[in-house]
Structure 1
């Protein structure tokens, strides 16, 4: 895929500011419009997929979809099928009736592998289909390793709590997180990505404001480029041991300073779901790439 098509003006602006345009051009050659056999095989092994898109009001969300391995599979050289689609309780339920831009990320904590597929999602007889426009893998940086214990027998989602700000319990949930997923939007589509670090790498400044340090990555700056061009973002936090999820949607901006980049999110809506996932995972083996956080929960030097 040509790098002009891989990167829109927002990503290009960030790459220029940081001084990585040549590297980004090189890395961008890995973005393909189709699904290679190795990518198709990886997808069929996964018990969950994160889907990013905008709801009917234009708010961007990250949503967790789960199923037995094979519930996500490639059905052609540029299409994946997702059995069951989006649950009715989810803020993205009904968002794809006429087709809509979507980003997905398949992440396997067992192997520290991940791949992203962005395109257009639409209803299918099986649930949901996504026609791929961008498919690429990411390095394992900041990805915590976990073992899968299995699915909780007979597990069903519990209460759903919606709000416009974090509760004290949700603030503790965020502060304890070592992983979250982020969906971001721009005029040319939606992207879903991953952020990881040691617990405390996401800071809660108030019930309506979060921030996190943007650790060095692959130099594509797809997420930060979308935030530069648009600003809408949706975060998904998962309690790996209980299956509880916390989704937040809002507007984000990135500040550039001598010590690095910090992204700030102003929360507009929240959705917490008890046992949204039936999957139960082990405690993490933290990535050796995670920068240390000191006792005062300050940013790394």
Structure 2
């Protein structure tokens, strides 16, 4: 259930008992309630290793029903990445993936991990584990009609442009993909009021780690393999900002105190950036911020 990285972080935080209790929710098969939830979603957030040691997070979209649970250990994803997606090559063959489905209307989310292989223009995922997360820090959004376009690379580089830095500073939501040194992949949600993710230079970001379920799945992976992939979706335009790089956790009281409500801070060094215009036809309303979001300094 937990690897040695998870256990190390849980032990340092003094939450081994809480983590064991939370871990009882992790299943190796998909319950009916999760299958129904997945079937209703128009978007899936997914992360993987690109085969070159870099992690990326991305999204796949379709009409509700494009995610189908065909048996308790198998999810069929009726969409694949665009050719310009940073994970297109990796998802052309079998690869471990971490997935999360979020409903911004009800603030529910379900995570599914497993091994994906391509099939029929989409993916088939053999499930290793599945579990639900609490609704904290999910901003409420309503779907809106929007135009569909052909995905194209708007920018590619090794640092954030001024416009991309403003995108990160304005973000209230992003997704983070991590992996253990044994290859298991997690994709998780991070949310807060705009400004909770900070840009300290064109290649340096940081964000607070707020109190959660005590599993420390993301931080436990970083303890073993300090790399991550980030996805900053633009909810109004469908543009996707993909960022890959190195991450480490800072626990010094002085640094943590700079982020109200934080228990620790994640420091991220950018190595690769890909901005893709038009990968998603989905559009969403302005957010209703979660009441669990701490204030931003």
Normalised-by-shorter TM-score class:
over 0.9
Compute the displacement of 1:231 (Å). Answer: 1.0
Match of 1:19 in 2: 14
Instruction: Pick from 157, 160, 164 the counterpart of residue 163 of structure 1.
Output: 157
Compute the displacement of 1:155 (Å). Answer: 3.1
Compute the displacement of 1:157 (Å). Answer: 2.5
Deviations 1:190-223 (A, max 9, x none): 0000000000000001110100010001100000
Match of 2:62 in 1: 67
Q: Superposition pairs for residues 4-83 of structure 1, below 5 Å?
A: 6-83=1-78
Instruction: Pick from 147, 157, 167 the counterpart of residue 173 of structure 1.
Output: 167
TM-score by length of 1: 0.93
Does structure 2 retain, via aligned residues, the 8 Å contact 1:8–1:188?
no
Instruction: Pick from 272, 275, 286 the counterpart of residue 272 of structure 1.
Output: 275
| Alpha-carbon separation, structure 1, partners of 2:62 and 2:4 | 37
- CA-atom RMSD, angstroms? 1.1
Q: Superposition pairs for residues 126-275 of structure 1, below 5 Å?
A: 126-150=121-145, 152-186=146-180, 187-258=182-253, 259=256, 260-275=263-278
| Alpha-carbon separation, structure 1, partners of 2:164 and 2:93 | 34
Aligned length in residues: 288
SS in structure 2 of the partner of residue 166 of structure 1: coil
SS in structure 2 of the partner of residue 144 of structure 1: coil
SS in structure 1 of the partner of residue 251 of structure 2: strand
| Alpha-carbon separation, structure 2, partners of 1:164 and 1:153 | 30
| Alpha-carbon separation, structure 1, partners of 2:158 and 2:204 | 11
Question: Which is worse superposed, 10-19 or 124-133?
Answer: 124-133
Where do 5+ consecutive residues of structure 1 fail to align?
Answer: 1-5
TM-score by length of 2: 0.94
Deviations 1:23-79 (A, max 9, x none): 000000100000111111000110100110000212000011111111111111111
Deviations 1:134-167 (A, max 9, x none): 10000000000000113x2443334432110000
SS in structure 2 of the partner of residue 214 of structure 1: strand
Does structure 1 retain, via aligned residues, the 8 Å contact 2:100–2:109?
yes
Match of 1:3 in 2: none
Instruction: Pick from 285, 290, 295 the counterpart of residue 288 of structure 2.
Output: 285
